A and B are shown apart, each in its own frame.
Chain A
Amino acid sequence: MNNNVDSDSKDYKNLLTRTHIKWGKLEEANNFAQKVKLFRQHVLSEDDFRRFRLQHGAYGSRLQMGYSMVRIKIPGGEITPEQLEKIASLSEAFSIGSAHVSTRQNIQLHWVQLEDVSEVMRGLAEVGLTTREACGNTVRNVMCSHFAGVCAKEEFDASSYSKAIAQFFLRNPVCQNLPRKFKINFSCCNEHGLVRIADIGLIPKINENGVKGFRIYLGGGLGAASFLGHLVEPFTPENRLLSTCLATIRLFDRHGNRENMARNRMRYFVHEIGWDTFQRMLFKERSIVEMTMAGSTLESFRVLLEKHQREIFKIQKKHLELPILNTQNTSRDDSFNRWINTNTVPQKQQGYFTAFVTLGAGDITASQLRVLSAAIRDFSIERTARNTPQQNFAIRYINGKDILNFYTRLADAGLTNPGALTIASAVGCTGTTSCNLAITNSHRLAKEIEYKFLELQFDIDEDLKDSTIKISGCPNSCGQHEIATIGFFGGASRIENSMAPTYTMLFSGSTGEQGELGKTIMRVPAKRVIDILRKIIEIYRQERSEKETLKHWIRRIVNGAGTGNVKSVENIKVLLSPIAQLDPIDIDPESYKDYGSDIRFSAKTARGECAA
């Protein structure tokens, strides 16, 4: 009987020393500083420097090329408290004192002076983080569902696979100059995760013989023209994971369109030659890869994978040794109960919870990051956080008996807003706050929706809970508007002789293996978006059949299968159109200014830098 506090805390310390991959390299920071100097001295041409800069994760800022957005890759979204604290300090020193969680599990620092980017990289390398290949024509941050490892529906934990793949392709010569960017997303199950909107999307699967593997989707992606990925084969065993990914990247590298920047993502190539042809090419290419791949390459991947699996095993072992407790919160605090209902999910590990930190469109201040870091150290058994495509943080492995203390710790820092897992947590890309391509301030609009919906308590309405709102500031889909229940992308409309900021609204997009892309409904002025959303919810509440959620009702309307007065998209448009009509500018000047702006709207954009 040696199960005393001391031996317990010793075990715990072993967990704390869990090694993390060193993604970053100090010499790349120094190299970046050198290249900036050469660029400023006109030794390096603008084009060459741009390619180099993007390869290293620094994206130009809106109409001010002297500033950069520094995109920090967080592979699988997994990040330690030390890393979060470093990002806090760097955001204060070189950025705007806030950091931004993107929709692809990156964390971005905005408005960093180009000459200071190397200092940010230096700080990141100290804690093992990198910005390498976060932009440019490379394999971008490899995503993994934030539920991987704790999801009740998953067949096995894909985290280690996602990190091994990320590590294998980072700085790998085979993907340093692809025709265009390349995105890989791992899911946990067929519901969570973004598998059908990636170049490669993977769902972990165990076949009838007990062999681990994946259902792999290729050629998906969102943008001005969006496509859902195609299933390669019913089951790809794990020993063909690497060859399938390599073969896909090699095909894209050879055949992708290098001329037309607007149509050079792999999804266009797949679309143009047709899935059947692409699939045949892929199988052939995969055979070649498997026949010619060096044993050492396969071995190095195997080593990476096993290293990551050992770490996960340590967590699982630790968890089994902990007392199992079910949370029964006895608090009479209404705001705590509301938060429990909208921000926590029980894990498959009995007695443990994943708690979500609601961020307004992904923004978090440096001091909030520090409070969050301390709370992760003290309350999460795995002692890491994961950031989510919903632009929030997921803190996992919180023992049920600690959940009130965890909440209390975060409350003073303003980190316990409810609604993270509900319609209130609207997603917004950075829009005109920093992006060259943006037409509208999608970022602020997402925040405005969140404030308003929390005020109206839409987050506690169970029937709205599984609906999502996602907003992009232009037709390119960084805000992932096409997979939202109600999505919006920004544009400009001329009314008489004045320009007004507007959004195109889409209905019934969804994620997961059965995911669908949203259908375009109508244009809505920026300043009427919230009114329109409230009207949609009002109509839904009148029209729905019993126990039907907003998400299901909207799908039915889109399919023209509504009952009652509103049967189709055309019917609902008639009801919404009066709200979407703008008076001339002299009567309603506010509608001709975008959110966050006191001057008349005009659509200003500059060259995008997604492609280098």
Chain B
Amino acid sequence: MNAKKLQSTNSDIKIPLICDTDTVQALILNSAARIIDVRKSEEYLQGHIRGAASLPLSQILEKEPSGIIEILKNLGITDTLPVVIYDDTFGALAARVAWTLKYVGHSNTSLLEVTYSQWKRMGLEIESNNNTFPKVEHTMRINHKIQADASYVDLVKEQEKKFLVDSRERLNFLTEHIPNAKNIPYTMLRSDTNILRKPEEIRRLIENRGMSTDSEFITYCGSAGTLSGLAFFALRSAGIKNVKLYSKSFREWKLLGKAKEEFKDANYWDLSAD
């Protein structure tokens, strides 16, 4: 997608799930999208991508959908305006915010393919203005299809063609996990340069695992749905249509006292040099 193409469009365009830097630059140039920085506000004020709005992850984590909608309104985001989200934490925080926006009804939401540090290293435009935007209207349309809660996970975790994906790192997974979960650590889905591998690579990884891509996938991680938020976008970008996020993740699962699988017959933690 190039700047010319974007200019020729009058109404808001539909952007891909993962946006490359060229696309984002074109969107910025044409004021055709809202760029959202999810780092802490101090970090935002020290410098951010040109034109970006600040929305720290902490502001949305415990909010009801109506509160999220209020935030969107205050950031000048209409129902169809493209939103591109970035962080400086390998994409996981951005992914959690992006998933939340999709959940409350803003489907035209995407992740920037690189982190803020990489954007800066590439010499792309930054600024330190505290950007504000005129308030607009935004409707709420909860997308239940992309969300899972504990009782749903409990219900489907052993069903055919439904895969529960644990996005935590291998040692955490080996220690304990939700019964029947498959471990696809978030580190497996990223590349050396981008927050996610290419879609065809992710597809290959999934197919190697013997998981058919027309199955339903439910992702979870340790606590806040960040790592699994990134996995949500990875699987979606690979063309898997039916992906859900169990946003309250393993912390809630344990608090509810639900069954876990544990593996205590090896001292694998002692292999780590950390």
Contact residues of A with B, CB < 8 Å? 33, 36-37, 40, 61-64, 89, 92-98, 100, 110-111, 113, 115-116, 118-119, 359-360, 363-365, 368, 430-434, 441, 443-444, 447, 594-597, 599, 604
Task: Establish whether residues B267 and A595, one from each chain, have CB atoms under 8 Å apart when the complex forms.
Answer: yes
Q: Which residues of B contact A (CB under 8 A)?
A: 169-171, 174, 183, 185, 187-188, 190, 192, 204-205, 208-210, 263-274
Cβ-closest chain A residue relative to B209:
A115
Cα–Cα, bound, A596→B266 (Å): 9
Shortest Cβ gap from B68 to chain A (Å)? 33
Q: Are B208 and A115 in contact (CB under 8 A)?
A: yes
> Of all chain A residues, which has the CB nearest B208?
A115
Chain B residues with CB under 8 Å of A594's CB are 267
Q: What CA separation (Å) do A90 and B265 show in the bound complex? A: 25
Given that A33-B208, A115-B208 are known contacts, is A434 also in contact with B271, CB under 8 Å in the complex? yes
Find out whether the CB atom of A98 lies under 8 angstroms from the CB atom of B268.
Answer: no
28 CB < 8 A contacts A-B = A37-B208, A40-B210, A62-B265, A63-B266, A64-B263, A64-B266, A89-B192, A93-B188, A97-B187, A98-B272, A98-B273, A98-B274, A100-B271, A110-B271, A111-B170, A111-B268, A113-B209, A115-B210, A116-B188, A116-B208, A116-B209, A119-B205, A363-B273, A368-B273, A432-B267, A433-B266, A444-B270, A595-B270
B267 and A597 contacting across the interface, CB-CB below 8 Å: yes
Closest B residue to A414 by CB, please name it. Answer: B273
Do A360 and B268 contact each other (CB < 8 Å), given the known contacts A115-B209, A116-B205?
Answer: no
Which residues in B have their C-beta under 8 angstroms from that of A113? 183, 209
Cross-chain contact A96 with B171 (CB below 8 angstroms): yes
B270 with A119: CB separation less than 8 A: no
Q: Shortest beta-carbon distance, A94 to chain B, in Å?
A: 6
A282 to B266 CA separation, bound complex (whole angstroms): 44
Q: How far is the CA of A98 from the CA of B267 in the complex (A)?
A: 15
- Residues of chain B lying within 8 A (CB to CB) of residue A432: 266-267
On whether the beta carbons of A92 and B210 are closer than 8 Å, the reply is no
Is the Cβ of B267 less than 8 Å from the Cβ of A96? no
Instruction: Report if A97-B169 is in contact (Cβ < 8 Å); known contacts: A115-B210, A116-B208, A368-B273.
Output: yes
Q: How far is the CA of A113 from the CA of B264 in the complex (A)?
A: 17
Chain A residues in 8 Å Cβ range of B274: 97-98, 365
Contact A365 B273 (CB under 8 A): yes
Q: Which residues of A contact B204 (CB under 8 A)?
A: 119
B contact residues around A430 at 8 Å (CB): 271
The residue in chain A whose Cβ has the minimal distance to the Cβ of B183 is A113
Q: Apart from A96-B271, A599-B264, what are 16 other A-B pairs with CB-CB below 8 Å? A: A37-B210, A61-B266, A94-B188, A97-B274, A111-B170, A111-B171, A113-B209, A115-B210, A118-B208, A360-B273, A363-B273, A365-B273, A433-B267, A433-B268, A443-B267, A597-B267
Taken together as a complex, chains A and B put the C-alpha atoms of A360 and B272 apart, in Å, by 10
Contacts of B183 in A (CB 8 A): 113
A37, B211: Cα distance in complex, Å: 11
Q: Which of A40, A96, A596 has the most CB of B within 10 A?
A: A96
B171 neighbours in A (Cβ, 8 Å)? 96-97, 111
9 nearest A-B residue pairs (beta carbon): A363-B273, A596-B267, A444-B270, A62-B266, A98-B273, A596-B270, A433-B271, A92-B187, A63-B265
The answer for the CA separation of A462 and B252 in the assembled complex, in Å, is 56
Closest residue of chain A to B169 (Cβ to Cβ) is A97
Known A96-B170, A96-B171, A118-B208: A359·B273 in contact at CB below 8 Å:
yes
B71 CB to closest chain A CB (Å) equals 34
The chain A residue with its CB closest to the CB of B266 is A62
For A95, the closest partner residue in chain B by CB is B170
Q: Which of A93, A95, A433 has the most CB of B within 10 A?
A: A93
Across the interface, B272 reaches (CB within 8 A) one of A36, A116, A365, namely A365
Q: How far is the CB of A542 from chain B (nearest CB, A)?
A: 34
In the assembled complex, how far is the CB of residue B145 from the closest CB belonging to chain A, in whole angstroms?
28
Question: Considering residues A36, A100, A115, A594, which has the most beta carbons from chain B within 10 angstroms of its beta carbon?
Answer: A115
B188 nearest in chain A by CB position: A93
Cross-chain contact B266 with A434 (CB below 8 angstroms): yes
Residues of A within 8 A of B170 (CB): 95-97, 111
Shortest distance in angstroms between A448's beta carbon and chain B's nearest beta carbon?
Answer: 10
CB distance from B82 to the nearest CB of A (A): 31
The residues of A that contact B210 with a CB separation of less than 8 Å are 37, 40, 115
Q: Which residue on chain A has the smallest CB distance to residue B204?
A: A119
Neighbouring B residues of A364 by C-beta, 8 Å: 273
The contact of B267 among A97, A360, A444, by CB within 8 Å, is A444
Residues from chain A with Cβ under 8 Å of B169 in the complex: 96-97
Residue of B nearest to A40 (CB): B210
Residues of A within 8 A of B267 (CB): 431-433, 441, 443-444, 594-597
Shortest Cβ distance from residue A490 to the other chain B in the assembled complex, whole angstroms: 12
Q: Please give, as numbers and ranges, the residues of chain B lying within 8 Å of A95 by CB-CB distance.
A: 170
Return the contact of A97 from the options B190, B209, B263, B272 (Cβ within 8 A). Answer: B272
Q: How far apart are A343's CB and chain B's nearest CB, in angstroms?
A: 17
**B268: A residues at CB distance < 8 A:** 96, 110-111, 433-434
Query: CA of A116 to CA of B205 in the docked complex: distance in angstroms?
Result: 7
Q: In the assembly, what is the distance between CA of A454 and CA of B265, in Å?
A: 30
Cβ–Cβ contact B264 & A111, under 8 A: no
A111-B174 contact, Cβ under 8 Å, with A36-B208, A63-B266: yes
